[in-house]
Structure 1
């Protein structure tokens, strides 16, 4: 009897990542199991790790599943203009592609620099910028909470924490958003960020201050300016867009789900619950590239060859039936999701804490300032970013009773 042909690899693109990725992940798991063959742009093969247990194994074994992109067996097939090169780097000097002891040293430098951020200062800065952004729209009675708020807030806060002058914030906002969504403007955005970061390093070497950049420069690990600049750009990009999407996705949930209605009328206990549910069900970072097998191995019943690329299916793992009860995630205070990664290459704990403070404060300011806020469009018509990597709204139009600004000049 002739065996049935194996299911074809799944293209990691298309509208379903925008409309219903959860259903797509379920189908992939049903057809392929916990490790699914996928095709990246240009039909480049990779594995998408969808199983919770398998993802834990991959992220917990940095020797077998390395972060060293030089191991990739597909480099001969990658054209110079491949669109995913900025994400899957070749000979990049940032911490993302550093392995072993040097990675641990760089991760410790970053964690120490971020851990020294004063939590009261962080919340105060976030409230300040959030109030300015609300002041700019509160008299209109309507706004887009993505374009006019969530997409502007995190980088303004991070810029000051890192050491940038406040007047540089708007330019950095534009550069970061161009890098994510600008396509033709992405290179210009990356150039602006790199030039600004290099100048900041030079300024802080000449005149240290109480900021993240100065603390990184003062580290005794002997890191070069290029290493520090690259890590700062990674931190800025990784801290901005996922946090902006965390704000947008959480506000969408609270505005569309009656379980969180009390929070819209003065309660605050549900804000943290909504944010945690988003990390389980609608996480901003859906899939991450990646890990490379350092030798032939087995994973989830698949034969993985040395040099194969494995993509971390964070949302797929969060949706794994093994960690759900009757289809529901173990959300109520349970933080065992993969939304911040796992293992030594996970998002540093101080960075997670900073993102949570910015997101929660940003949400609370909206609910405090605009207590009768409501969606201006049907929930089902809200547009999402068509990306298999980052999941966020491209719009969140709302209406509310116009109110006067608190004062001061808008951001």
Structure 2
């Protein structure tokens, strides 16, 4: 990674006028902004940062925090109200779905127009087209109007076109969220490979695990201001803590509903001693007592474990257990076949083997309804994050391994 910034942002702010009447907006535009302006909304305030060449830089924050506006300024789609942005290289962008392509033109025609905008001639784009078409993998739809594309097809073509014009900076604003898992994996592999050649990626996403895995640094925006810039783990932890605090401050229906479903949760060892600190190798029991707010049929009581940085470690529920019973054709009762009346407390005991590595873990509790014997028709009824926390510490000198789970490996060494 080069020490020279490929993007340098100095004290930028962006304000948007707020009009109380359509006539005021018309006067504002006719006058070039000299008249008709009333109140303003500050989307960004005093933002300064440098992004290095070859860096994958993440941007997170709540809806309305200024993430998309910042990307638009970097891409020169909008101009800042004050301050400066200097970009040293060609920018390829995947912003909101539908941007950049004409719906009446075919995929092929849109690709060639995009190439022309970036300065490629017809011959150059013809040489690149097969690669773009192969990466997009949309088949004969390449010669169909864009308006007939699904959102997934659109983003596949948009990503393929954006990366094949060989940008120095690739800007992605939530666009990959609509792609399927196979295509997302393909895109992320491409990004990792191109990073070695100096590609700079700016990624906006609400998928914190994606941010944690891909990014070198992360910017946390809050109400248009910089809240934090630094390592992904710290940025994500700061963001999650802010979200948790804001939710606790909102004493509304959502908070009341969460409290009414989850009566209590206890974490203990196998002897029943309530604890929140364990050593590696120790089994853990989690007991959650819920009060259903509606009659439950075909339900799944599940838990999810995450690190405090937000990485999902494990998810499992009674429906997983039921599916095992059905798959093995065992004659046994299943939770899915039972009915649970509203307001009658239900206690679920989860027994976890001591396979977790050292770290602090968050427990989430979920209740869902599964209409069929599979995860094809799931409805989430209740989901509470940060229901409980516990810590796992190394156990002396006799039980060491790296990572967040113990795969109980063994090794046999032979010498010829």
Superposition TM-score tier, normalisation by shorter sequence: under 0.3
Could you say which structure has the higher strand fraction? 2
Bigger RCO of structures 1 and 2 (CA < 8 A, at least 6 apart): 1
Could you say which structure has the higher helix fraction? 1
Normalising by the residue count of structure 1, what TM-score does the alignment of the two structures yield? 0.22
Normalising by the residue count of structure 2, what TM-score does the alignment of the two structures yield? 0.22
